Each structure stands twice: as structure tokens, then as C-alpha cells.
Chains A and B, each alone.
Chain A
Amino acid sequence: MGTTTAATTSGAVFASLRRAWGASPGSLLAGVAVIAFLATFLLLPVGAVFATAFREADGSFTLGHFASFFTTTLMRESFYNSLVVATVSVAFASAIAVPLAYLTVRFEFRGAILIQTLGVLPLIMPPFVGAVAMTLIWGRSGSINLLLDEHLGFTVPFMQGLNGVIFVESLHYFPFILMNLIVALRTIDSAMEEAALNLGARGWRLFRRVVFPLALPGYLAGAALVFIKVFDDLGTPLVLGQTNMLAPQAYLRITQVGLEDPMGYVISVIMIAFSILALWLSVRVMKGKDYTTVQKGAGGLARRRLSRGESIAAYGGIVFVLLVVLSPHLGLAILSIAQVWSFAPLPDAYTLRHYAAVFVDSNFMIANTLLYCGLAALIDVAIGVTIAYLILRTRLPGRQWLDFAASAAIAVPGIVLAIGYLRTFQGVQVGGVPATQTWILIMMTYAVRRLPYALRSCMAALQQINVSLEEAAEMLGASGWRVVRRVVIPLMAGGILAGFVSSFITAAVELSATILLVVKESQAPMSYGIYLYMQSVAGRGPGAALGVLAVVLVALGTYLSHRLVERAQAANAPARAAEGA
């Protein structure tokens, strides 16, 4: 009797929960699991970093570590260098992206396709991979300067000191500004521009007074991303030997001074603070400024044909930018087949032995990458689907916080998360081995840091599915989990796959957390392998070969995820069209 009553009572509780929140017991359970995951692998480690940064050895609160940060010359210099590099990179990236974006939306010419390609190519290769190749092309005794010196008698310090970091980072991250700006420009109603023309504005004034301000939100979103990416990047400065910056200092402090040294944590807190500041600023400036002004039926900015002269100038400019932007890719490809390449515009002889070396010595790295990134991407889509479902399909109180918490990972630099893991999981044993010695933590940093991307993918996929499709299944007798399994997940499949692929490929080239968490060579994924190889002159060839393999992997993945998204949209289209009719 008693058990029956208890069962009835708990049944009643669940029923009332369901009525109030629209959530089944299963989805509640999944929600709890997601919260546990985020707490363990994101909030706790980041919390530990903050706690350590603000605590004396005896546990009492202090700002002393920050005070000593700002009184240490090296730290002040690193801080200043990081700010300068990030800011100047944003400026350079803008200088590349803004004219290209304007050219694509404003004029009718075929080069637009080139620009679109330009927008994706740099993203398929992380900056640190191409950095060495860039030195060989643009460095003091690189191809370009050798040629300049020989023919014109001067050289340009493209890669000297911080210049190199700025150059490499701007070339890699300008697409974030380009893509966001193109979208923003496309959503401006042509009447906005015509009204200005009508009142006497044109040319540069028209752009400065009307067009650019209207596209500003898109520009700022892109610029903030570039700032964060550059500010947090560890691999590029390390490969280029510029260690007097924040991320390298954090890395060096933890690896050389030790896990107890507070300076690494102080740097971590400062990096997170700047990431949040940049995001907050871009959101704040945009607040209440949704300038999407395209009206029904009206297109974006009116397009103008280029005259012959303008066309030649535009193509010339694009081809030039394309060559510069592709120089790391080209350099990497050449390096991977170069016999010897130094003090010469091009290598003396070519060989395929670097590839052979990579396949013989380093195929375990490729296997590691597939294992870590595959598992991480699986975790991401599982959590992504769960959060998307809880947010869009239930009225669970506080469900927006799940989205917020998962997305917050975007503001956490890889090196910071890795430091947090070392701190949090020191002393934790997994199967008799310290957790910090296993590859599980490497995989988890990938999962956490790529979660925001997978989550966006899943949210977008679920948003496109009309809730009536699920209601129809419920009406026909399917319930709860069965509706999810038989209707929701199949319909989301395209978005889920795209999320999986984008998580996978971005994790495949992540270095900043990896570099701190790999404890023995057998654990190393490709990204770490590239970094290791690039440390020695002899290793550059195999490093480049491994880099080329990684780029090909990422390029294929990117292409695949685009195709998947397109196909998913096409497949869902008839259902939505019918519903609109």
C-alpha cells in the first residue's frame, strides 16, 4: 500500500512539474547532468583560478598578487604588449576587412566569390601553424626581404618582434570582421542610402555618415572577437619567440615556476576580464541598435557596376590581399616539401620525405586528435541538444542560465581553463593514475571550449523545427523521450552534425590548453606535434607536413559542415513552406 501511495505521490509531483515547466522527468534528469558537467569542468576550474588569484597562502583574501603583478616590470610590459598587439591587430584586420566587405556588397563584380573564399581560408589554419612559414617568407632574411634587398636595396621589418605577432594574427583573424560586416551591410535597406544621396551626401561622406554607422554593430561584434582571439592566443607568440606577452607569461609561470605561483592565476583573471570587457563593450554599444533595416521586398544596398579602371584596381587589390593572406598557407605547403630553406627566396630542393616521416613517426598524433576531438564533439552535441531542448521546449525556471553558462566558455582562454584543471583536479585519481596525467582532461578542455559553437548550431536547428511537428507526434501517442528520439533528433540531424563537425575541427587545431596538459609525447595530438616539431630547425619540415595534414582535415570538415547545414535547410524547407501556406 505504502509504495503505491508513494508512487502515486511522486507521479503526481512529476505530473505537476510537467504542467508547470513543460518538462518531463527525463529532460529534468538530463538538465541536472548538464549542470553537473558545466559545474565540474567549467565553473569549478575557473572559480579555482579566481580563488587562487585573490588568496594568500594561508587562505585569506588579498589583492597583493595583483599589486605585485603591476609592480613587476616584466608583467607590466607583457600586459602592455598584449594590449598593443590585440589593439593593433584589430586595426590591421579592419583595414583589410572593411574595404573588402564594402566592395562585395556595394559593387557588381565577380570578385565577390574571391572575397567570400578569402573569408574562410585563413580560418582553416590556426595562426601558430603558419607562423614559422611566415618568418621564412616575411622575416628579416625571408623571401620577400631578400628580394626587396636585392632589387630595391631596403628591407621591411614585417616579422620583427611584436610586428610578427600582429602581422600573423591580423591575417588570420580579419575574416571575423569581414564576415560580420558583410552580413551587417547586407541588411541595410537601400532606401537608407538613397535618402542620404537624395539629401546631397555621396562617396566617402555617405559611407562615413550613414553606411558605416548602420553596419557598426556587425563591425563591433567582429572586432571584439578578433581582440579576444589575439589577446588570448598562446601558440603564435610562443612559436615566434615573443614571450613577453600575457598568455606566454601565464604558460611559462605555471610550467617553470610551478602550480603554486600566483602570477599565472593573476594573468588568467586579467585575460578573462579583458575577454568579458570586450564582449560586454560590443554588446553595450549595440544595445538598442538593431539596425537591421531591410523592409519587405526591398534589397540591401544598391549595387553599382565598376568601371573598367575601377574593376582592374579592385581585382588587383583583391589578388594582392589574397596573396598576402594565403602566404602562410603557401609557405607551409612549400616548407612541407622543402629540402633546405634558409636565406633563399625559395627552397633549394624539394622532397616528400617529411610526409613519410610524419606518417611513420607521428601517426599516433593523428589518432590522438581523432580520439580527443571526436569524443569532445560528441559531448558537445549531446549537451548542445539538451540545452537547446530545455530552453526552447520547456519552461524550466532559470533555463536561460544554462545557455549563459555554456556560452561563457567563449570568454575563457584555453590556457586559463588548463590552469584551472591542473589546480582543481590535482590529487584526483582516475583508475589509479592522477587525473592531471591523463588525456581525459585534454579532451574535456576541448569539449568545454567548443561547446558554445555546438550549442549555437543545435539551438538554430531546433528553432527551425515547428513545435507543431512534435505536438502531432504526441497527439498520435508518442510521449516524452520517444518524441525527442523519433521526431526532434531526426529533424535536428543536420544541425547536430554541423555542430559536431565545427566542434571537431576547431578542437583539432587548439593548442593553448593542449600545450599545458600534455604530459608525455604519446598523449600528443596533431596540434601539439606541430608545435613540438616547429621548435627545432630540423623539425620544421615534418612540422609543416603535419600542419598541411591538419589544414586539409579542417578544410574538409569546414566544407562538410557547410554542406550539411545547406542540406538540412533544404530538407526542412518543404515542411516550413507548407506550414506557411
Chain B
Amino acid sequence: MKKVAVECRSIGLAYGRTEVLKDVTLRIEPGEFFALLGPSGSGKSTLLRLIAGFNRNDRGELLVDGRDITAVAPHARNIGMVFQSYALWPHLTVFDNVGFGLVERKLPREEIRRRTEAALGLVGLKEFAARRPNQLSGGQQQRVALARTIVIEPQVLLLDEPLSNLDKKLRVTMRQELLALQRKLGITTIFVTHDQEEAMTTADRMAVLDAGIVQQVGTPAELYDAPANRFVAEFVGTMNLLEGSVSADGDALRFDVDGVGAVRLPRLADAPASGKLALSFRPHAVRMAVGPAAASGQSQLTLSGVVQGSEFLGEFTRYLVAVGTHQVTTDQPHLAGTRRIEDGAAVTLAVAADQLRVLR
């Protein structure tokens, strides 16, 4: 099967006065497993439905395999979509649900049977062909929906929150299966989710959307390590943000954290010489020790604070530490026998220079 690229060029869409998509430009490579991540109302589902043909863009172009398909009706696009609710037809058996698209393509009966059975085999539901959708579990329904879509050999596979109706354990298994299947078939796949863990664990690359704008595109690690802005920083993983203003101070930087005071910072590659910005770092990048602070130096940022609360999560303990008027979250690894630090304890927090990012 030919692997195709999907390209959005300056796509804009508005419902009345509400702009849902603003100038979306994206290129999804052939065979890629691509995630659209964003909170509800960010426009991610709208974009997916636009690719399926259920929404029309007011501006811009939508290219599949280099061809603008904006004017192509949904039924003629050959782009498969798995719906959040699965949308399995209750009046048809599993077999007839899966074979539906092949019947529409007016294929010979024998070929329909063969391909339907093959698709059911692929998702491990061969023996459920005669059942009705309401006689299946949530996970099985999900597989039927998937089989129904891939059986028509779509050029692109769209998945709309495919795992959101499953319980947590099943979600993990299903996302692995989904990925394995996608790798096997090599279909360009676009996957909508609001769950950053789901996106990061499965996607080759992902785009974070907010308010109809693509905030950042990249591999999960790129987005996690180098978020482009505050929104991405806080939406992908947990992030500590210290707002303040920066100024040059000899070979280091002077950073005035609002509500904390000035700290010396090592020179950071991406930091401007002056201005308002936010310093960001991940909770697990913080080393915490009981006792007074040493000064920040060339290689690390040091802060002093007071423990306000903690949550024991097994692998680590998450502490909330008051630093001035800020609250810093820090994850400390837990091994058997590690003592919990009491609330109210004065602590020192240290973050290595290469774990600090400056966000404008």
C-alpha cells in the first residue's frame, strides 16, 4: 500500500464568529503515527473531522498525497476514521459492520467475506463475527471499530480519542496493540487525544493545539525537553514555572523571581540578556536536601523553601515546596527505607543548569 503524506496549509475554520482553527499548518509524513494533543475546545477534533470531510475549512488547503481534497465529499475520500463512541451500528452484526465499507465499494461477495475475516483476524475477533455490537465489551467494540476502518485500506487512518472509553488498564494494552497494528500496516495515522501520556507513548511526532493554534510540533521528547511556550510546558508533563525578569550580572545572569528575590543563574544558551520571562524545570530535575541553601553557582540554580505537603506515589514522593510566593513541585525518588521529609521542614532545592529552560 502506498504511504501518503497529509498536509494542512494555513487552514482556518470558524463557526459563526468563533474561530475554531486559526492558520493551522502541519505536515504529517507518510506512514507516520501522529498525535494531535490539546485540551477540550482546542480544535483538535475539529481538525480531525476536517480531514475526514465532516467539516469544511474556510481558508487554506488540505493536501493528501499532494492533492487538495478540500472539495472531495467525505464518502469519496477513502480516509478511515475510528469514532470516539465507536459508532458501531447496533442493527448489524460484527461481520456486517466490518464488511460495510466493502459492500459500499460493490466488491464481489467472496472478496468481502475474505477481507472482512482477515480484518477481524487482525484484531483477534474472528470468532465474534456473528455477534451484535452490544454483546461485546468496550475493548472488543474498539477493535471492531478499528477493523471496520482498516478493512477498506484507507490512505489515512484517523483516530478520535480512541481509548477514552476504556478503563485505565485496557487503555495501556490497547495503545500498544494500536501501535503494533499501525506499524504492521504502515498507514499514515492521525490520533486525537487530550491525554499527554497517550500521545507521548505512541506518537512518532505530535502537535500540541490550543485555541485553534498549533503551539508546537515535534517528537514527544522534543516537546517534553524543549517546550516552545508556557502552554506546552504545562500541558505536556508537569512543569515548575518561576516568573521574573532577567538582567546581566558579569559572567552569570541575575534573575529576579517575583515574590522570591534575586537569584544568580548560570548563563543559559537560550536566555536573552534582559526582560520578563519564566524559568522552567521539571519536578524530577530538582534535588532536595534538608538544611540551608548554598548560593547558586555556574552549574546550578539553588533555592530555599519550606515543605508544605507531600504525596507518596510509590516510585517517588512528590513534595510541594513554598519558595517565596511560588510553589515548586519536586519528585524525589523513593527506595525502601527512604524517610519522608516532614511538612514545615526548611529545605534547599537545586536544579542543574542543563535542566533549566527559559520561556518567554
Contacts and interface: CB of A to CB of B under 8 A. Distances in A.
B100 A209 contact: yes
A394 B134 CA distance: 33
Which of A202, A206, A216 has the most B CB atoms < 10 Å from its CB?
A: A202
A214 B100 CA distance: 15
B85 A298 contact: yes
Interface in A182-202: 189, 191-192, 194-202
Interface stretch (B59-67, B87-95, B339-347): B87-95
Interface string B46-82: 0000001110000000000000000001111011110
Contacts of A434: none
Contact of B83 (A191, A209, A216): A191
A194 B53 CA distance: 10
Contacts of B88: 195
A289 B89 CA distance: 11
B128 to A, nearest CB: 17
B87 A197 contact: no
Nearest to B76: A200
A485 interface: no
B282 interface: no
Interface residues of B, number: 28
Nearest to B134: A288
B24 to A, nearest CB: 21
Contacts of A192: 87, 89
Contact of B100 (A189, A201, A289, A291): A201
B119 to A, nearest CB: 12
Given A200-B104, A201-B100, A302-B54, A191 B87 contact: yes
A209 B74 CA distance: 17
Contacts, number: 77
Contacts of A209: 100
Interface in B97-116: 100-101, 104-105
A216 B91 CA distance: 10
B75 A197 contact: yes
A191 B161 CA distance: 13
Nearest to A203: B75
Contact of A195 (B76, B78, B81): B81
A214 B75 CA distance: 20
Contact of B80 (A198, A216, A291, A298): A198
A205 B85 contact: no
A195 B91 contact: no
B152 A199 contact: yes
A209 B79 CA distance: 20
Contacts of B89: 192, 195-196, 210, 213-214
B83 A199 contact: no
Nearest to A292: B90
B105 A194 contact: no
Interface string A238-249: 000000000000
Contact of B104 (A189, A191, A205, A298): A205
Nearest to B81: A198
Contacts of B52: 194, 198
Contacts of A214: 89-91
Interface string A535-571: 0000000000000000000000000000000000000
Given A199-B101, A200-B105, A194 B54 contact: yes
B75 A202 contact: yes
Nearest to A210: B89
B357 interface: no
A195 B90 contact: no
A555 B80 CA distance: 51
A466 interface: no
A201 B91 contact: no
B104 A291 contact: no
Contact of A295 (B79, B85, B152): B85
B148 interface: yes
Given A200-B152, A302-B54, A194 B83 contact: yes
Nearest to B160: A191
A210 B101 CA distance: 12
Contact of A201 (B84, B92, B104): B104
Nearest to B92: A213
B101 A200 contact: yes
Contacts of A298: 85
B85 A191 contact: yes
Contacts of A198: 52-53, 74-75, 79-81, 149
A198 B156 CA distance: 12
Contacts of A191: 83-85, 87
B62 to A, nearest CB: 16
A291 B90 contact: yes
Contacts of A197: 53-54, 74-75
A197 B104 CA distance: 10
22 contacts: A191-B87, A194-B81, A194-B87, A195-B81, A195-B83, A195-B87, A195-B148, A198-B53, A198-B79, A199-B75, A199-B104, A200-B75, A200-B101, A206-B75, A213-B89, A213-B91, A213-B92, A214-B89, A289-B91, A291-B90, A293-B90, A295-B84
Interface of B: 52-54, 73-76, 78-81, 83-85, 87-92, 100-101, 104-105, 134, 148-149, 152
Interface of A: 189, 191-192, 194-202, 205-206, 209-210, 213-214, 216, 288-289, 291, 293, 295, 298, 302
Given A196-B100, A200-B78, A214-B91, 11 more contacts: A194-B81, A195-B83, A195-B148, A198-B52, A199-B75, A199-B100, A199-B148, A200-B104, A201-B75, A201-B100, A210-B89
